[in-house]
A and B are shown apart, each in its own frame.
Chain A
Amino acid sequence: MSAQYEVVIGLEVHAELKTDTKIFCSCPTEFGGEENTHVCPVCLGLPGVLPVLNKKVLEYAVRAGLALNCEIASFSKFDRKNYFYPDLPKAYQISQYDLPICKKGYLEIEVNGRKKTIGITRVHMEEDAGKLVHGGATIATSRYSLVDYNRTGVPLIEIVSEPDMRSAEEARAYMEKLKAILEYTGVSDVRMEQGSLRCDANISLRPMGAKEFGTKTEIKNLNSFRALQKAIEYEIERQRDILEEGGKIIQETRSWDEGKGVTVSLRSKEEAHDYRYFPDPDLVPVVIDPQWVQEIRDSLPELPDAKRERLVQEMGLSEYDAGIITGSRALADFFDQVVAEYNEPKTVANWIMGEFLRLLNANNLEVAESKVKPRSLAALLKAQAEGTISGKMAKTVFEEMFETGKEPETIIKEKGMVQISDEGALAAVVEKVIAANPQSVEDYKAGKEKAIGFLVGQVMKETKGQANPGLVNKLLKDKLG
């Protein structure tokens, strides 16, 4: 990034709400299912039908808004966004235009140790559209296309940020924090790969110190953190090159080509739609009782920032560790549950951030998909603390737990991994190792503490790792002196 330009980034994020039924009818929102089976006259927009708002959608939108520090509108309404597309059965989308349910919120991010507040302009409710299934490989080469309306009417919230981000890292941090908050509040599955969390990024450059925004481009449908960061980085470079050559940025919509690592133009603003928004006359305005908002506020769980604070203050974790553990509710809950059974937060944190996350990432799994239950990890750590197994054994046991879901006790028994804690049995090995390593014995006696570690290692090797290291240490020190 050249010094003379400042980057301005704003994000529009769509999150699918985790309700059982659709926003204006009682069809299931369940993902998948045979095409056009989760539909009814209402979500198909057949002639004469009318929408009726699902109150759970309203509750979830308010819940998300509160978690994002928003003001909740006491009076809100739905509007129609009119455009023609085969996957949009009424040829308009029911959305919210000038009176969204939530506005003026914010969330906090941290990049390279620096905290920053990012404003949230608004959160509004809307319905999702259907999905086109093309007869050929691409839309251009297809002789026909079919439409699956299962998704039609699935409730979404759109969260629009202020243009407060100044780098791809900040945008990514914002998205990660947003994802965590939506997950904590339980309003969304936040599965980016299934499309339940989608992001559009608005990017522009302006000369350092300038007040006015430069011309922006919008990158549509970024569906992973990686894509978000790479696409923004690419777009910043592209715009800077144009500006430095004296060119002008065209306001347009672009998409991210993951394979080629470039953004490509979708359509320019000249072709953009006039959506002709107007209040939907089929839906009465949404009037909200402040008492109800208070009830929702009272029911909010501990949010990531508060939880991180608690892990640092009360459990003595480092800011960094606490940040990672509270980055997802599933991980934080996992941590809490292990600690509830084995109250050594630092050890638990080390295990979670080390072995657990390593194996999850290597296998591309979510916390919820892990076969290891918190209680089992606690049992393993206890076994290690009690000296039943060594730290090294514990790692081997954990790998098997992760793979098979077996309890640690079972694995230890099956593998005969019980630690040798019998002084008599170890004494002979210790003698043997002392005899075989005179130089290390000399070193130790000359005051080189490190030498004892080597000798412990040799004993462990002799016993195939089953010796109790603490005991070996003690026996060696006794013998030597």
Chain B
Amino acid sequence: MDLYKKTAHELSSLLQKREVSSEELTRSVLDRINKVEEKVKAFVTVTGEQALEQAREIDEKRARGEAMSPLAGIPMAMKDNICTKGVTTTCASKILYNFVPPYNATVTEKLLEAGTILLGKCNMDEFAMGSSNENSGFFPTRNPHDLSAVPGGSSGGAAAAVAADEAVFTLGSDTGGSIRQPAAFCGVVGLKPTYGYVPRYGLIAYASSLDQIGPLTKDITDCALVLNVIAGHDPKDSTSAPVEVPDFTRYLVDDVKGLKIGIPKEYMGEGIDPRIAAYLKQAAAKLEELGAVCEEVSLPHTEYALPAYYIIASAEASSNLARYDGVRYGLRVEAEDVISMFCKTRSQGFGEEVKRRIMLGTYALSSGYYDAYYLKALKVRTLIKRDFDQAFLKYDCLLTPTSPTTAFKFGEKVNDPLAMYLSDVCTIPINLAGVPGLSLPFGTVEGLPVGIQFIGKPFGEGTLLRVGYALEQNTDLTKPKAQMEGVI
């Protein structure tokens, strides 16, 4: 029985029926990591011993008949920008190579309370800046479907870990598409929740007003189960929404009758691989067949999202990353005075892409340029939000490609930052608007998975899970996994 291959909900029922123990399951996944990690390189830290110990504790609790959450005993991993008490949290950056947080992120706390088993921390683009995982300060992660292709970014490690069965599920973070684009590239389910739905406390900030933690899972049901644990108000996060969280599993119904789905034409034009566009139309046809109504809609300000995003995200990043100065923790490069120490530490500690964005953000915020760049970007952001508000007056959700292309090859875009930035063009507007977005695998092109994206109203995660579930139930295209055999 290859336990590691199974979904969380399958494993949950096995654990509840006591057909397997969490220790067995954890061992199975750790063995899988041992076997494939050399090729995939999804992890920066594996905490095998601690995981087994945790699993044994859960097994004991279960043996005592204690009440257990559905995810109790399930091995998972987290992107390395989510703080884990006592476990190194590096953001895949040299500047934080030795940082061990003395606290847990709220999501870490919630998952541990639910009894999930922490296997380790996943590789990422440094400080979540990047679309390919080539910007990791340590090493790149590879796409389990094709080792010469990137896994996407910046949650590339987290997506690859799920795709390669090195974790049953993982948590990533999404600032401009960092969960959904790697989910699409690796053929897994990825959800960026509504801004404020999942607490950010303990998520090492890239761009505070855009960052959101979300799950990467093997299917929609798992996505609902993880969301059930991590969503909800957090008094430690003033931007966390004080709203009630439903049981998301009640949206897992095979029914989309009467649902109105808009397909924004701006996401279907130039730059989108026609084979991906074809899959999207196929998905729409399937949903119509199931009783939904699909129509073309326009989000006229879409083309301004990318520049606005890079101004806002870089501006916030320039400030958020200023604390890495060598004074208190992380890397310190010795120098004769404090200013030189700051400079040398930051020069040697940060990678190219991070420096590029810090400089861009510093420039955009500086006096004399603020109005022309930052303020203007905020205005664009308002217009983009309004586009979505308008669309949601008529539609329950929107359907777009997750990424214009499938996973590209290593090195293909690394010397052309602008081309790299374009790979997030379909996901970025969603972060600017703060609405939720779900990437669902839907077919493959030349052996590489394709992702389609559903965009929801604020706190409309339920609808996204409902359409995703309906598609899962009615087509095999949502399971691109079989293609992976033989690669790793």
- B is a partner of A: yes
Number of interface residues of A (CB under 8 A): 29
- Indicate whether A266 reaches chain B with its CB closer than 8 angstroms: no
With a cutoff of 8 Å between Cβ atoms, the chain B residues found around residue A22 in the complex are: none
Cα of A264 to Cα of B129 in the assembled complex, Å: 46
Cα of A274 to Cα of B318 in the assembled complex, Å: 14
Contact B101 A46 (CB under 8 A): yes
Cα of A50 to Cα of B208 in the assembled complex, Å: 10
User: Could you say which of B201, B203, B204, B323 contacts A90, with CB atoms under 8 Å apart?
Assistant: B323
A48-B202, A276-B366 known; A281 vs B238 contact (CB < 8 Å): no
Contact B200 A50 (CB under 8 A): yes
Cα of A274 to Cα of B370 in the assembled complex, Å: 11
Interface string of A281-313 (1 = CB under 8 A from B): 111100000000000000000000000000000
With a cutoff of 8 Å between Cβ atoms, the chain A residues found around residue B101 in the complex are: 41, 46-48
Q: Smallest distance from the beta carbon of A212 to chain B beta carbons, Å?
A: 23
Contact B105 A44 (CB under 8 A): no
- Indicate whether A345 reaches chain B with its CB closer than 8 angstroms: no
With a cutoff of 8 Å between Cβ atoms, the chain A residues found around residue B237 in the complex are: 50, 52
Cα of A92 to Cα of B315 in the assembled complex, Å: 13
Contact A47 B96 (CB under 8 A): yes
With a cutoff of 8 Å between Cβ atoms, the chain A residues found around residue B103 in the complex are: 41, 46, 49
Contact B238 A147 (CB under 8 A): no
A47-B101, A48-B202 known; A89 vs B323 contact (CB < 8 Å): yes
- Indicate whether B374 reaches chain A with its CB closer than 8 angstroms: yes
- Indicate whether A91 reaches chain B with its CB closer than 8 angstroms: yes
Cα of A91 to Cα of B102 in the assembled complex, Å: 21
Q: Smallest distance from the beta carbon of A479 to chain B beta carbons, Å?
A: 86
With a cutoff of 8 Å between Cβ atoms, the chain A residues found around residue B327 in the complex are: 86, 89, 147
Q: Which of B91, B235, B325, B370 has the most CB of A within 10 A?
A: B325
With a cutoff of 8 Å between Cβ atoms, the chain B residues found around residue A277 in the complex are: 365
Contact A91 B201 (CB under 8 A): no
Contact B205 A48 (CB under 8 A): yes
Contact B319 A276 (CB under 8 A): yes
Interface string of B96-122 (1 = CB under 8 A from A): 100101110100000000000000000
With a cutoff of 8 Å between Cβ atoms, the chain B residues found around residue A92 in the complex are: 319, 322
Contact A84 B342 (CB under 8 A): yes
With a cutoff of 8 Å between Cβ atoms, the chain B residues found around residue A90 in the complex are: 322-323
Interface string of B461-488 (1 = CB under 8 A from A): 0000000000000000000000000000
- Indicate whether A278 reaches chain B with its CB closer than 8 angstroms: yes
Q: Smallest distance from the beta carbon of A41 to chain B beta carbons, Å?
A: 5
Q: Which residue of A lies closest to B239 (CB)?
A: A284
Those of B220-261 within 8 Å (CB) of chain A: 235-239
Contact B238 A274 (CB under 8 A): no
Contact B323 A47 (CB under 8 A): yes
- Indicate whether A82 reaches chain B with its CB closer than 8 angstroms: yes
Cα of A114 to Cα of B366 in the assembled complex, Å: 45
- Indicate whether B338 reaches chain A with its CB closer than 8 angstroms: yes
With a cutoff of 8 Å between Cβ atoms, the chain B residues found around residue A80 in the complex are: 319
Those of A251-281 within 8 Å (CB) of chain B: 274, 276-278, 281
Interface string of B160-202 (1 = CB under 8 A from A): 0000000000000000000000000000000000000000111
Contact A89 B208 (CB under 8 A): no
Q: Which of A45, A82, A84, A147 has the most CB of B within 10 A?
A: A84
- Indicate whether B219 reaches chain A with its CB closer than 8 angstroms: no
Interface string of B316-350 (1 = CB under 8 A from A): 10110011010111000000001100100000000
Those of A84-106 within 8 Å (CB) of chain B: 84, 86, 89-92
Q: Smallest distance from the beta carbon of A147 to chain B beta carbons, Å?
A: 7
Contact A276 B362 (CB under 8 A): yes
Cα of A8 to Cα of B251 in the assembled complex, Å: 68
- Indicate whether A136 reaches chain B with its CB closer than 8 angstroms: no
Number of interface residues of B (CB under 8 A): 44
Cα of A80 to Cα of B316 in the assembled complex, Å: 10
Interface string of B345-388 (1 = CB under 8 A from A): 00000000000000000100111001000100000000000000
Cα of A282 to Cα of B234 in the assembled complex, Å: 13
Cα of A50 to Cα of B374 in the assembled complex, Å: 23
Q: Which residue of B lies closest to A275 (CB)?
A: B367
Those of A42-81 within 8 Å (CB) of chain B: 44-53, 80
- Indicate whether B83 reaches chain A with its CB closer than 8 angstroms: yes
Contact A278 B209 (CB under 8 A): no
A86-B338, A276-B366 known; A50 vs B316 contact (CB < 8 Å): no
With a cutoff of 8 Å between Cβ atoms, the chain A residues found around residue B239 in the complex are: 50, 281-284
A52-B235, A53-B238, A276-B366 known; A47 vs B204 contact (CB < 8 Å): yes
With a cutoff of 8 Å between Cβ atoms, the chain A residues found around residue B365 in the complex are: 82, 276-278
With a cutoff of 8 Å between Cβ atoms, the chain B residues found around residue A86 in the complex are: 325, 327, 338
- Indicate whether B89 reaches chain A with its CB closer than 8 angstroms: yes
Cα of A292 to Cα of B41 in the assembled complex, Å: 56
Contact B235 A47 (CB under 8 A): no
Q: Which residue of B lies closest to A53 (CB)?
A: B238
Those of B55-112 within 8 Å (CB) of chain A: 81-83, 89, 91, 96, 99, 101-103, 105
A281-B209, A282-B239 known; A91 vs B316 contact (CB < 8 Å): no
With a cutoff of 8 Å between Cβ atoms, the chain A residues found around residue B81 in the complex are: 48
With a cutoff of 8 Å between Cβ atoms, the chain A residues found around residue B362 in the complex are: 276
Cα of A44 to Cα of B99 in the assembled complex, Å: 14
Contact A282 B322 (CB under 8 A): no
Cα of A430 to Cα of B91 in the assembled complex, Å: 97
With a cutoff of 8 Å between Cβ atoms, the chain B residues found around residue A53 in the complex are: 238
Contact A52 B83 (CB under 8 A): no
Cα of A189 to Cα of B83 in the assembled complex, Å: 38
Cα of A50 to Cα of B89 in the assembled complex, Å: 17
A46-B329, A48-B204, A84-B322 known; A282 vs B238 contact (CB < 8 Å): yes
Cα of A176 to Cα of B323 in the assembled complex, Å: 38
With a cutoff of 8 Å between Cβ atoms, the chain A residues found around residue B329 in the complex are: 46
Cα of A53 to Cα of B362 in the assembled complex, Å: 26
Cα of A84 to Cα of B322 in the assembled complex, Å: 8
Q: Which residue of B lies closest to A283 (CB)?
A: B238
With a cutoff of 8 Å between Cβ atoms, the chain B residues found around residue A274 in the complex are: 366-367
Contact B208 A282 (CB under 8 A): yes
Cα of A44 to Cα of B315 in the assembled complex, Å: 22
Q: Which of B96, B102, B239, B323 has the most CB of A within 10 A?
A: B323
User: Could you say which of B236, B238, B316 contacts A284, with CB atoms under 8 Å apart?
Assistant: B238
Contact B208 A281 (CB under 8 A): yes
A276-B362, A276-B367, A282-B238 known; A48 vs B96 contact (CB < 8 Å): no
Contact B99 A84 (CB under 8 A): no
Contact A47 B89 (CB under 8 A): yes
Q: Smallest distance from the beta carbon of B340 to chain A beta carbons, Å?
A: 12
Cα of A48 to Cα of B208 in the assembled complex, Å: 10
A47-B89, A47-B99, A47-B204 known; A52 vs B323 contact (CB < 8 Å): no
Q: Which residue of A lies closest to B96 (CB)?
A: A47
Q: Which residue of A lies closest to B199 (CB)?
A: A50
Cα of A89 to Cα of B201 in the assembled complex, Å: 17
With a cutoff of 8 Å between Cβ atoms, the chain B residues found around residue A47 in the complex are: 83, 89, 91, 96, 99, 101, 204-205, 323
Q: Which of A44, A48, A53, A283 has the most CB of B within 10 A?
A: A48
Cα of A96 to Cα of B81 in the assembled complex, Å: 29
Q: Which residue of A lies closest to B237 (CB)?
A: A50
Cα of A53 to Cα of B102 in the assembled complex, Å: 22
Contact B201 A48 (CB under 8 A): yes
Contact B99 A278 (CB under 8 A): no
Contact A48 B238 (CB under 8 A): no
Q: Which of A47, A80, A84, A283 has the most CB of B within 10 A?
A: A47
Q: Smallest distance from the beta carbon of B11 to chain A beta carbons, Å?
A: 30
Q: Which 6 A-B pairs have the closest CB atoms?
A: A91-B322, A281-B209, A281-B208, A276-B365, A47-B204, A48-B202
- Cross-chain pairs A/B with CB under 8 angstroms, 10 sampled: A46-B329, A48-B82, A49-B202, A50-B201, A50-B238, A89-B323, A147-B327, A276-B362, A278-B365, A282-B208
Q: B-contacting residues of A (Cβ < 8 Å)? A: 41, 44-53, 80, 82, 84, 86, 89-92, 145, 147, 274, 276-278, 281-284
In the complex, besides A47-B91, A48-B81, 6 extra interface pairs with C-beta distance below 8 angstroms are A48-B101, A48-B202, A82-B365, A86-B327, A282-B205, A284-B238
